[in-house]
Structure 1
Amino acid sequence: MNECDLANAEARYPAFRWLVLAAGILMMFMSMLTALAVAPLMGVIAPSLGIDIGTASFGIMGLNLFSTAISVIIVGILVDRIGIMKVMTGSLLLLLAVHLAYPVIGYTYNAVVGLRILTALGGAVGLIAINPIVSQWFPVKEKGLALGLNCLTMLGGMAGFTVGPMFAERAGSWQTGLAWLSYILVLGIIFLLYVTLNEKKHQPPSLVSVSNKEACEGTCETEESFSKVLLHCPPFWIGLAVMALSNWANNAFNDLSPSFLAIAPPLGAGYGPEVAGRLSSGAFFGSMFGIFCSGLVIDKVFKGRSGMLVAIGFICSLVFYNGILLPQIHGNMTTLSAWLLLAGFTGPFTAVGNQYFAIKNFSPHVMGKVTASWTCISNFTGAFGVMAGSYALHHTGTYVMSFGIVASICVLGLVAAAVVISKERSAKIDSAGVQA
């Protein structure tokens, strides 16, 4: 047994780690809940503020997404400096203050946009919480499972779409309805406060000493400065490439597929908006199971080799995302439903595999900034992917080139996955040499 194996065998992780993971999942749930609760209310919010629906959507939804991409950098720095639990607790307190403010100041467009920007800042930590938590609190054999359980966060989006309009209708105004979300936020704050106040009593062990980290992984874990990570750590750029390409492909597909399914032939499949929305929801539910199963696959099948899962994810995206253009697929409702379910199921493989890659290659003290940087840049890349697909559709009048761009991105993703696989093989060989 080499020094790395001995260190791992001696490590004892507290059962408290599951509460910390639950706190991270809850934070992301709250982030999605508060971000999406207003989406079904655009038709109500716009006339109440005296603006058109386009302006409302741009300021209330669009600027929220843009602000989230910027805010992850801020919270990433804070996570590395003061700890993930303190940042999450503070973020929920900010979200609570924002929602309590809606009945007080939420009657002008500028005020609502300002509150939505603060919502982005409060919810941004949810996007990066899982990596620092899994990196620090879970042993190697459980990291995949912990990442897979992050699938529960998607219930936050479903809750937002449901609870937002329900509260607004029962409260008599959308401002009061959004304020009622504070009851849910208070429950979350109580739980996070409990975990925050007790985490010092249940600190996770260090798997390896600083001197042994490089021998164990052959990674950038010994770098103490994030600037050194940027300059001297190839895995940072490899992981960024994977995440950016994954976001591009996924965002473009999620934007293009519903409209393609709804629009009448010969341009689209001709199912109409209602049926197209119902069909697209199959991909959403499939992704929940995909997130969970992908973590188990890394643990049980690939034994920590995340590059294989990333490669399979891009291959499946190449096939399933572009396959809906085939009449044999979209021409049969049953076949199409199963196809979209599989597209959703395999879609998260690239993201979960890349999360595991990050956890293996970076120590917890830089994980916040690494994940935040990847999330920020890849969100902008994903937005560019949507614009590129829309531009191609506008100028060609067909979906062929738009989906062709997605196919090209998947091929580039396969190249990045091959680099990940190569690096993991090199690390395995180096580890075998150390053991010998």
Structure 2
Amino acid sequence: MKTSKYRWAILALLTLAMMINYMDRAALSVAIPFITKDFHLTAAEKGLIFSCFFIGYAAFNFIGGYLSDRFGPKSVFTWSMVIWSLLCGATAGVFNFWSLLAARVLFGLGEGPVSAISNKTINNWFPVRERARAIGINQAGGPIGGALAGPVVGLLALWLGWRTAFVIIALLGLLWALVWHRMSRDLPAQSEHVSPAELQLINAERQSVAATSDAEKANLLTIITQREVLVTGGALFCYNYILFFFMTWFPSYLIDARGVSLKEMSFFSALPWLMGALGFLCGGWLIDTLYRITGKLLFSRKVVLVCSLLTSSLCIGVVGLIDDTMQIVAVMTLAIGALMLAGPGFWALIQDSVAPSCMGTAGGFMHMLSNLSGIIAPAATGFIIQSAKTYTGGFVLAAVLGLVGALVIVIFIHQRPPSAMPVVKPA
């Protein structure tokens, strides 16, 4: 019987959505020199603007994931993309610090659900043996989008102005939402493009917990207070602190501390993103390969996570002590590549720990906890820079948190039998 591969078309759309997500998000970091000139922003004000995005974003990590369990990932993702694209375009209309602050909070609301919904969709559409790879491919779209933001938004801002740049990238999201609405389904069994053979492949390795009677219904508190959810969320907080420190402040660091031009910054800041995309792809492939060779599901996740976080932390700590700009870009590129090598492991861990019917809720809550770092990292870095007159302290703090994240995974993540996993009745 011929096996269709429509799940990979769904994954391609998810990856494209992640590209748009990061391009829209990183656009402000690229455009901030123009906006700073127009609105006369201080370093502390820029830090607050970077941070305020995560107020709405973190809240809707959880809310969006919960809604995807209730109403399905197809419709929730459609509305999420439409809302954040419209609000990205609305950034073109801001006129001072406070209006930009408000626009970023609302923009974060729209972008919040993306990772939890993507994770739930991958769980629905991929067999266990392919999940880490699928997660890695999906997440690779993020750094690719971040890499594109530098040259695309930078050159558009120079050519047409920063306001027009936000409108153009917003239109890409609206087009994606239309295609997603037409092509996607909540479950592969609902799609006319999925063959019986592909459906059998997808469902073949489902954990027995997925088939448990839905008469046993765990409440919301039971789902979000599982040790795996809380511990993985804490470790991902450390991971994301490094990511958001890089995303929000590295372009400004190159301009303010290293004296590079805006055009040079646009391309220099793209290099770590490209290495990050490779890291995600290799991380997912490496996890699945280790699982296939050893048959040890948890080991395959933990060893990649811990080694990658330790490598990234070492590189981040060194960056603040280097004087040569090209060496800084090279080490930061290695740091982000190693960091994102760990990325698929977090989402693979949460997929191993909860039932598919509550995947959105658990993954969204984990993601919400981790993205509290997005509120803290940019603002804390802004105040460190303003008080110390140097970026070194920001690099050191990010490195220390990476080490903490690795230790949390080593110490607190243990194997748990499927019978201990709570099950929630599908809506």
Please confirm whether the aligned pair reaches a TM-score higher than 0.5, indicating the same fold: yes
Q: CA deviation at 1:406?
A: 3.8
Paired residue secondary structure (1:272):
coil
- Structure 2 residue aligned with 1:323: 318
AA partner of residue 28 (structure 1): M
Give the equivalent residue in structure 2 for 1:244: 237
Confirm or deny: 8 A CA contact 1:134 1:146 kept in the other structure. Answer: yes
Distance in structure 2 (CA, Å) of the matches to 1:388 and 1:42: 18
Structure 2 matches for 1:216-365, cutoff 5 A? 224-231=218-225, 233-252=226-245, 271-274=258-261, 281-303=270-292, 304=297, 305-324=300-319, 330=322, 338-365=330-357
Distance 2:369 2:231 in 1: 13
Distance 2:158 2:169 in 1: 13
For residue 35 of structure 1, what is the aligned residue in structure 2? Answer: 25
Match in the other structure for 2:368: 376
CA contact (8 A) 1:142 1:299 kept: yes
For the 8 Å contact 1:76–1:369, the answer to whether it is kept is yes
CA distance 1:56–1:148, shift in 2 (3 Å) = same
* Aligned residue type for 1:239: T
User: More displaced, 174-183 or 151-160?
Assistant: 174-183
Structure 1 residues not aligned, in runs of 5+: 1-11, 217-221, 265-270, 431-436
Deviates more, 1:175-184 or 1:375-384: 175-184
1:25 — aligned with what?
15
Q: Is the 8 A contact 1:248 1:409 kept in 2?
A: yes
Q: Which has the higher relative contact order, 1 or 2, with Cα contacts under 8 A spaced 6 or more apart?
A: 2
Contact 1:279 1:337 in 2 (8 A): yes
> 1:46·1:56 contact (CA, 8 Å) conserved in 2?
no
The aligned residue for residue 76 of structure 2 is 87
Q: Which residue among 401, 412, 418 is the counterpart of 2:410?
A: 418
Identity %: 18
Larger Rg: 1
Aligned pair 1:127/2:127, yes or no?
A: no
RMSD: 4.1
| CA pair 241-120 structure 1, distance change in 2 beyond 3 A | closer
The alpha-carbon distance between structure 1 residues 19 and 310, as it changes in their structure 2 partners (threshold 3 A), is same
Deviations 1:338-369 (A, max 9, x none): 43332222111333211111111122322222
Query: For residues 117 and 292 of structure 1, do their structure 2 counterparts lie closer, same or farther at Cα, with a shift above 3 Å needed?
Result: same
Residues 76-115 of structure 1 mapped to structure 2, 5 A cutoff: 76-95=65-84, 97-98=86-87, 114-115=102-103
TM-score by length of 1: 0.74
Secondary structure of the equivalent of 2:184? helix
1:100-179 residue pairs with structure 2 within 5 A?
Answer: 114-150=102-138, 151-164=140-153, 175=163, 178-179=166-167
Q: Distance in 1 between matches of 2:417 and 2:254?
A: 45
Q: How far apart, CA to CA, are the structure 2 residues paired with 1:398 and 1:42?
A: 19
Q: Deviations over 1:214-266 (max 9, x none)?
A: 899xxxxx8643311234x22112211211122234444667777777787xx
1:384 deviates by 2.7
Alpha-carbon distance, 1:75 to partner: 1.4
Deviations 1:90-144 (A, max 9, x none): 12332454467678x7668776655544432222222333311221211122112
Deviations 1:310-342 (A, max 9, x none): 11022212322223356xxx3667765543332
Supply the distance in 1 between the matched residues of 2:409 and 2:330 (Cα, whole angstroms).
Answer: 26
TM-score (norm 2): 0.75
Paired position in structure 1 for 2:424 = none
For 1:253 and 1:280, how far apart are their aligned partners in 2?
A: 9
CA contact (8 A) 1:312 1:349 kept: no
Q: Deviations over 1:257-309 (max 9, x none)?
A: 77777787xxxxxx534478765543332211111101011011354420111
| Corresponding residue SS for 2:57 | helix
Distance 1:45 1:255 in 2: 14
Q: How many residues are paired up?
A: 396
Residue 261 to residue 57, structure 1, CA distance change in 2 (3 Å): closer
- Name the residue aligned to 1:8: none
1:170–1:177: 8 Å Cα contact kept in structure 2?
Answer: no
* Aligned partner of residue 129 in structure 1, secondary structure: helix
The answer to whether the aligner puts 1:213 opposite 2:209 as a matched pair is: yes
Q: Is this contact kept in 2: 1:279–1:340, CA < 8 A?
A: no
Could you tell me which amino acid in structure 1 is paired with residue 303 of structure 2? M
Which ranges in structure 2 are unaligned for 5 or more consecutive residues? Answer: 421-427
